[in-house]
């Protein structure tokens, strides 16, 4: 079966892991997530789901602080990496699982869902709407989601998704590595806010943040399920 463009990260992770033994995105978690969980009163019993967790730097950090978190990604390589890290840290590796959020559904609903740098990978409108619909359908009533995407709120562009698996040179530490190009769509605030509104996700706050690990500038939306 043909692979979808948004599966290209699998190839990037495999290449980087095999060639360097290091994580593509590094090990540094983004502090903003714990701040947001605290802001909205999360406690250790609150159920939390991360979608598109990649190599797990954020999920592992929150799990090690005893947050009740599950984390998923479409990439088998990423989840294998997360499970190995979890074992080394004496955390529950079963909390990590492979899932395509554009195709799969869970039976459970969550108090909190967050996603770091995933929505901007989704280039097609239909895929972006499915991503937001997944969040809507998996939040409890009044549940909150934190969505961060690459972008400055002004610039808009999208890459050609048919080229997502093509190899390109990318900086990695002090060197250059040839990895799958993947995909990217930047949107401005008007577009992002209208996508959230159409998905019945009520915006509680939105702003530019420069502390999300691995990204110079990110757009952050804190949203609530509008029942």
Ligand X SMILES: C[S@@+](CC[C@H](N)C(=O)[O-])C[C@H]1O[C@@H](n2cnc3c(N)ncnc32)[C@H](O)[C@@H]1O
Q: Which residues bind ligand X (CB under 6 A)?
A: 6, 9, 25, 51-54, 73-75, 78, 100-102, 116-118, 121, 214
- Concatenate the DSSP letters of all residues of 149-167 into one string: EES-SS--EE--GGGTTSE
Nearer to ligand X, 73 or 195 (CB): 73
Question: From the CB of 177, what's the least distance to ligand X, in Å?
Answer: 16
Planar angle of CA 64, 102, 207, nearest 5 degrees: 60
Nearer to ligand X, 41 or 83 (CB): 83
Q: How far apart are CA 96 and CA 43, in angstroms?
A: 20
Q: Which residue is nearest to ligand X (CB)?
A: 54
Question: From the CB of 126, what's the least distance to ligand X, in Å?
Answer: 12
Nearer to ligand X, 7 or 226 (CB): 7
223 φ/ψ angles, rounded to the nearest 5 degrees: -130, 160
Residue 190 Cα distances to 157, 199, 203, 221, angstroms? 14, 14, 13, 12
In the 8-state DSSP scheme, what is residue 66? Answer: T
Question: From the CB of 175, what's the least distance to ligand X, in Å?
Answer: 19
Question: From the CB of 94, what's the least distance to ligand X, in Å?
Answer: 18
Nearer to ligand X, 117 or 221 (CB): 117
CA dihedral 103, 107, 111, 112 (to 10 degrees): -20
Nearer to ligand X, 25 or 86 (CB): 25
Question: From the CB of 34, what's the least distance to ligand X, in Å?
Answer: 15
């Amino acid at each position: 079966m043909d692979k979808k463009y948004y599966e290209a990260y699998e190839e990037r992770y495999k290449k980087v892991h095999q060639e360097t033994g290091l994580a593509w995105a590094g090990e540094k978690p983004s502090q903003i997530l714990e701040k947001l969980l605290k802001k909205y009163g999360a406690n250790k019993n609150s159920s939390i789901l991360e979608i598109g967790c990649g190599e797990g730097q954020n999920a592992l950090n929150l799990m090690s602080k005893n947050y009740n978190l599950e984390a998923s990604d479409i990439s088998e390589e990423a989840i294998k990496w997360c499970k190995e890290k979890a074992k080394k840290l004496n955390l529950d590796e079963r909390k990590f699982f492979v899932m395509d959020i554009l195709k799969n559904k869970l039976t459970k609903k969550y108090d909190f869902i967050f996603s770091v740098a995933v929505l901007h990978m989704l280039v097609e409108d239909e895929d972006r709407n499915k991503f937001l619909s997944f969040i809507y359908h998996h939040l409890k009533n009044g549940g909150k989601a934190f969505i961060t995407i690459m972008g400055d709120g002004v610039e808009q562009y999208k890459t050609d998704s048919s080229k997502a698996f093509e190899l390109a040179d990318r900086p990695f530490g002090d060197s250059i590595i040839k990895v799958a190009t993947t995909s990217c769509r930047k949107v401005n605030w008007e577009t992002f806010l209208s996508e959230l509104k159409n998905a019945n996700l009520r915006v509680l706050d939105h702003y530019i943040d420069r502390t999300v690990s691995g990204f110079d500038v990110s757009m952050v939306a804190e949203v609530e399920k509008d029942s």
